[in-house]
Every structure is written in C-alpha cells, then in structure tokens.
Amino acid sequence: MGINFIKLTQPSPDIVDVFNRWENDPDLVYLTRPNQDQSALERQELLTLEALENRLKHQYIYLIYNNDYLIGEMNYMIDPSHLYKKIPGTAWLGITIGESDGRGKGIGYTAIQYLEKEMKAQGLKRIELGVFEFNAAGQKLYRRLGYKQIGLIKDFTYYQGRMWSDIRMEKYL
C-alpha cells in the first residue's frame, strides 16, 4: 500500500468533481455532515471551484492517495467558531475516506498521524473534532489515536429515523 498525502493549494475541476461525488454519496453523507431531518440527509449539495478556493482561505486541505489513486481528504482549520472548548490555537480536524475500497485498512489512522505532525510543525498544541454518536468505528479510531471525549451535543444530527448526539473529542500534541 503506497499511501501519500498532498496539500491542496490549487483546486482543479477534477478535484471538485471528486469532492462533489463524496459529499453527495449516500454511503457517506450521514457520516460527514449534520442533518436535521430525512430531507436534509437526502439533499444534494454542489461544491464549485470558487467555493473550494474560498475554503482554502481558512482551511488546510490534504488529499489522500493510495498508489496514486485519490481515496480521501483530510483538513483542519484553526479556531473555528464551532469549537466546544474555545481555546485559542486549536485545530479542528476533519477526514473523509471517500472511496469505499480505502476504508477499514488503517489509512485513516496513518492520515491523521500525518496531519497531527503537520499541525504540530505549525505550532498548534490542541486538536478538537466531532464524531457522531452512531459512528462507533470513528470513535474507536480517535480513541486509538489518543483523543478523549470532552463533551456531547445532544440532538445534533438525524440518521435512521432519529436524532443523535455529536461527541466532541480533543487531543493535546
């Protein structure tokens, strides 16, 4: 397995197309964005090249490749307003393994370790993230990497006919 990471600096239409496929994939939507009801869960969202370029103004995005095949993306932003603990210098982490053949193989684990090194090199000392209550695999991954639960936001996202909490976790680098 040849995993490598490339920082996204100049998005292309091809990257936008892949992100749109992942962001509207029914096998991923319930894991990657909060939804208030069934219609929100089924809603298709269209990312534009301009919108992705704007995201890069406040978000660091890294593409995840396996043997030169784009399988996911990870990102972080510094001190976003949705932090559970408003501690200056905190990175908010997000990761999506968009291709199903890239899941369950330890790629997410390796990717987050890489991103943590990048954050530490930037002088960041704390990471926070959210993982939906029903996402047991995500919770297990984050715990294995040393993340600890710091809070719970009830009724945060809709999935399988009911509302679920968002578990907030942190790690100090």
pLDDT tens column, 5-50:
999 999 999 999 999 999 999 999 999 999 999 999 999 999 999 9
**pLDDT digits over 59-113, tens only?**
999 999 999 999 999 999 999 999 999 999 999 999 999 999 999 899 999 999 9
pTM of the model: 0.94
Q: What is the 3-state secondary structure (H, E, C) of 16-76?
A: HHHHHHHHCCCCCHHHHCCCCCHHHHHCCCCCCHHHHHHHCCCCEEEEEEECCEEEEEEEE
Distance from chain centroid for Cα 66: 18
